[in-house]
Amino acid sequence: VLGIGFLGERNWIRGFAGLDRMEQKDKDILNNRYFHLRYNYRISPRFRTFHFFQLQSNENLLLDRRLLLGSGLRYSILEEAHGRLDLGTGLMYESERLNPNKLGPAEEPDSDVVRMSNLVVGSGVFGEGRRWVTVVYYQPNVETFRDYRLSGEAGVQVALIGSLQLDVAFTWRHDSRAPAELDEDDLGFRTGFTYRIR
């Protein structure tokens, strides 16, 4: 993952590009590509907006293309020296194209929906050079709440040497209307290193 950003007094802009790929015997067992752009504007010490754009393809989720565009408002309900808890809500436009060769005869490859974008973000420090981060997203279709996505991530960041840190995270994803070939729930484990340049 490659990330770049700018943090000012009221403005925060970040961009991320990622590629996860793994092959076994000339067959992809992991192929995920994405670009994410996010902008926050701080209205007050506790209120800030969030706006995002994401473009993604993921063969494991049968995604030829997923485009997300959304905006909302985020509020910090707890802000202390050792921890922080934020809540946010907004709307996002989602356009998807699934691989038609992997779908059943009654499944449509193309969809365009408007979803709510609700989030809970918690973070804090424990010990020296260690930080925990937890994020939960709930994204229901505004036309029918039976169509929803629920996902979460719980991770730990450990400072190593200088600007280098170790990142370890567990991920979970639930899609109430996943294609028939996929499970509704996915569990994952991710580990990697982050090097920050300021």
Q: For 27-35, which contacts have Cβ atoms below 8 Å and span 24 or more sequence positions?
A: 28/59, 30/60, 31/57, 31/58, 31/59, 31/60, 32/56, 32/57, 32/58, 32/59, 32/60, 33/57, 33/58, 34/58
What's the mean per-residue pLDDT of the chain? Answer: 92
What's the Cα-to-Cα distance from 16 to each of 55, 65, 154, 190, rounded to whole Å? 11, 17, 19, 17
Instruction: Give the Å distances, CA to CA, from 119 to 56, 102, 139, 155.
Output: 20, 31, 9, 16
**Can you give the pLDDT at residue 130?**
94
Between CA 68 and CA 92 the distance in angstroms is 7
Asked whether the predicted pLDDT for residue 90 surpasses 70, the reply is yes
pLDDT of amino acid 27 = 59
pLDDT tens readout for residues 28-77? 555 789 999 999 999 999 999 999 999 999 988 899 999 999 999 999 99
* pLDDT mean over 184-198: 87
Residue 79 reports pLDDT greater than 80: yes
Q: What is the pLDDT of residue 150?
A: 97
Structure confidence at residue 197 (pLDDT) = 81
User: Are 186 and 173 spatial neighbours (Cβ–Cβ below 8 Å)?
Assistant: yes
Q: Which string of b and e fits 5-16 if b means at least 16 CB within 10 Å?
A: eeeeeeebeeee
Looking at residue 16, what is its pLDDT?
Answer: 93
Question: Over pLDDT 90: what percentage of the chain?
Answer: 75
Q: Which of 42, 46, 38, 40 is nearest to 10 (CA)?
A: 42
**8: pLDDT confidence band, cut at 50, 70 and 90?**
very high
How confident is the model at residue 173, as a pLDDT? Answer: 94
Which residues are within 8 A (CB) of 89 and not within 5 positions of it... i.e. 6 or more apart? 72, 73, 116, 117, 118, 119
